[in-house]
Amino acid sequence: MTGDTDYTAIDLWATEPLGDAARIRIADVLHGPSWGWLTVAVRAAWEQDLTRRRVRIELAQLSGSEASALADFLNWPTNRTGVANVDLARLDEMLRASGLQAGLATCLTVAGGPLDDQAGRRRAEIATRTAEARRIWAEANDHPAIARRPELQAWLADEHRTGKLPANLAMRRRHLNDVLAVLGALPNPGIARARLASRILGDAHALDAGPVPAAILRGLARLAGLPQVPPDATGRRELWASVGVALDAVSSTVLVYGLTLPGDGPVPTTLAVNAAAGLPVRLTLGQVRHHLNPCHANPPAIRQIVFACENPSVVEGAADQLGPASHPLVCVEGQPSVAALLLLSFLRQSSAEIRYHGDFDWPGVSIAAGLIAGGARPWRFTSDAYLAAVSLDEPRKALSTSTGPAKAPWDEQLVPAMLRHRVAIEEESVANHLIADLARR
């Protein structure tokens, strides 16, 4: 091949076919000790990236005979030191014009086997990994949990963007599948977290800690409209509770007053004794479950009105003023506990009519929205009731602007009225009206 050849159009790493005699001749020459500059130094530098047109050779790393052979072949001064830049196209041309009569890639392949395209392999691995990562996120986006709760799409996009899941793709796919399987099984009123983990993931402790429960909590925070997962244990417990999951069966409780249930088991007996005495009583999640288990398949009819409130002060006031002469009252005490959600769900399924009242502030409206969406009716919790409370000549708290307005689909005028007046109405300030409604006549 002559010097007129356009080497920019040649793939230097391409080899040409050789006969056996040519292979033997080239191998005999290049296996000589003085050719290490080509078969070892040039090869090692070029294999880092076969798209390179030049490589750098540390002359100090060559033996004396290799340095002399390099200088002799490339027509360089024999006293050259430091780093040498070798033009691979020129070297290819010189090899073809030499007694070897073969190009650079062919000579190196005959001497030491196929060239290792390290950079090309890395690029291929990156491309394969990128394609696999895209498949994982596409599969996640098509998961039934996302289809059922479209608001989780924004959460999934955040998980993708922030890269909080494992970098290992197999682990990432498995963790995402676990997270989505759990989110797809929620809400599930009254289930223990360990039982949920065992049923969905096959390990009762799978949701105790780690990247899977952390991602689930981020998803639950998105569903709850929170900017982030609460940093404290109480906030995280409430987040689990918002979808009916309890961390244990004793710390989750519900405060009730005047409520009775059919039956003669421990829970109906406890409720009946306290209702007759006009005393509030607190039930644990375990007690609620114990009563519901025999009733779950065919709940008894409880055709009565059951009132529900947000704050214990309403229960306390009703017990003081009404004693045993009160309609049933369930207090959710802020964000409803799992025990409260499970009891209210049971009452609704048993044909009880639930009427709910809470604080006229954004958290209160948000709590009411969840309960009303689940079948409760608003109890003095409308725009008219809000405006009536605002008109009273009493000190009021300013409506917080930090959490933003909640939605009140049961009354389209409530949120605009609250935004207009910027006043929060705490349940305690209208407790006299609520207690009057509770009085049995």
Q: What are 144-148's contacts with CB under 8 Å, separation 24+?
A: 144/184, 145/180, 145/181, 145/183, 145/184, 146/180, 148/184
Structure tokens at 293: 């288990």
* CA pair distance 305, 45, nearest whole angstrom: 84
Structure tokens at 54: 């030049």
Walk along the chain (441 residues) and give the pLDDT tens digit of each residue. 344 444 444 578 788 899 999 999 999 999 998 999 999 999 999 999 998 899 999 988 999 899 899 999 998 887 778 888 999 999 999 999 999 999 999 999 999 999 998 988 899 899 989 999 999 999 999 999 999 988 899 999 999 998 888 888 999 999 999 999 999 998 887 788 888 999 999 999 999 989 999 999 999 999 888 889 999 888 898 889 888 888 877 888 999 999 999 888 899 999 999 999 999 999 998 899 888 765 555 666 778 999 999 999 999 999 999 999 999 999 999 989 889 998 999 999 889 999 999 999 999 999 999 899 989 999 999 999 999 999 987 778 888 876 667 899 999 999 999 999 999 999 999 999 999 999 987
How far does Cα 192 stand from its chain's mean position?
21
* CA pair distance 379, 385, nearest whole angstrom: 9
Q: What are the respective helix, strand and coil percentages of the chain, to the nearest 5?
A: 55, 10, 35
> Is residue 191 within 8 Å of 296, Cβ to Cβ?
no
Cis geometry, peptide bond prior to residue 187 (ω within 30 degrees of 0): yes
Residues β-bridged to residue 398: 423
Domains of the chain: 7-116 (no CATH), 120-246 (no CATH), 253-438 (3.40.1360)
What DSSP element (H or E) covers 255? strand 253-257
The amino acid that residue 159 corresponds to is E
The pTM of the full predicted model, rounded to 2 decimals, is 0.61
> Could you give the angle at the alpha carbon of 102 between the alpha carbons of 41 and 93, nearest 5°?
75
Backbone phi, then psi, for 333, in 5-degree steps?
55, 60
For residue 127, give every residue at least 6 positions away whose Cβ sits within 8 Å of its Cβ, in sequence order, or none. none
